[in-house]
Amino acid sequence: MQYRNLPADFDGFRMVQISDTHFGGLIQPEKLIAKTKKIIDETRPDILLFTGDLVNNFAVELEGLESKLSLMTSNYESFAILGNHDYGDYTNWENTEKKQTNFDDILKAFRKSGFQLLRNGNTCIIKGNDSIFLAGVENWGHPPFPQYADLDAAIEGIPDDAFTILMTHDPAHWESQVAGKRNIELTLAGHTHGLQWGIKLAGIPFSLAKLTRKTWGGLYREGNSQLYVNTGLGIVGMPWRLDMPGEITVITLKRSEID
């Protein structure tokens, strides 16, 4: 991806994006983690980014996995955001205390796995003499589910002329709140899974998700703002992926020549 305003020392900066592991839906999650770690290590990124939905609903789905995930993240600065399934909103709880305990345990699991969570906040990434900003919002839910995202809070303190990357789980958030409205160069999202089903028409990937979503997978642009939607690693609902394999996205930032 090329940008004229990318700081010089970030020319060639390499990011790996993963998303939507949904560990509660996997029979052998350890194998997915090991395979993902191998690919990431071969890529040798500067930073690892996870765009939400670590679990299906419950913290117990992560038992025994935090140490394996921490091996995957240990060699890189690793940041994450929460997805809609990470709040435990898709089950009936006996009381609010049990739901809160589950949520707190999921937050702890993120930290034990080596991820720094961005919950409507941002951080400065420094390389050489230059810097960029990475912001992350909580989930931007569709009614009747809550909208936890606060974009204003997430980008608070970021200079207007700073190169900014935003992580938001649902790409519809970019369509509604970012594109054409905010000075954010790149947004990374997940959530769609490409409906876990796809075909190629004349070599071009296609999913039925396109019938319900404008931004379901891949790269999109509006003006100076770009969005990349990762179609995820795990499964939810349907116990398969048909011609929609798990995705590990490698993004290299390039500084284009300034006239």
Q: What is the pLDDT of residue 237?
A: 74
pLDDT tens digits, 117-173: 999 999 999 999 999 999 999 999 877 778 999 999 999 999 999 999 999 999 999
- Convert the pLDDT of each residue in 32-59 to its tens digit: 999 999 999 999 999 999 999 999 999 9
* Mean of pLDDT over the chain: 92
Determine the pLDDT at residue 240: 64
Single pTM value for the model: 0.93
Position with higher pLDDT, 73 vs 214: 73
Question: For the residues 72-89, what does the mean pLDDT come to?
Answer: 96
- Model confidence pLDDT, tens digit, residues 8-30: 999 999 999 999 999 998 889 99
pLDDT at 165: 98
pLDDT in tens, 203-229: 666 665 666 678 988 999 999 999 999
Residues 79 and 115: their CA atoms lie apart, in Å, by 5
User: Measured in Å, how far apart are the chain's first and last C-alpha atoms?
Assistant: 18
Q: What are the pLDDT digits (tens) for 167-201?
A: 999 999 999 999 999 999 999 999 998 766 666 66
DSSP symbol at 4: T
What secondary structure, in 3-state letters, does 90-156 show? CCCCCCHHHHHHHHHHHHHHHHHCCCEECCCEEEEEEECCEEEEEEECCCECCCCCCECCCHHHHCC
Q: Domain 2-255 has what CATH class?
A: alpha beta
Predicted local distance difference test score (pLDDT) of residue 154: 98
**How much is the pLDDT for 241?**
72
Q: Given this model, what pLDDT does residue 7 score?
A: 97
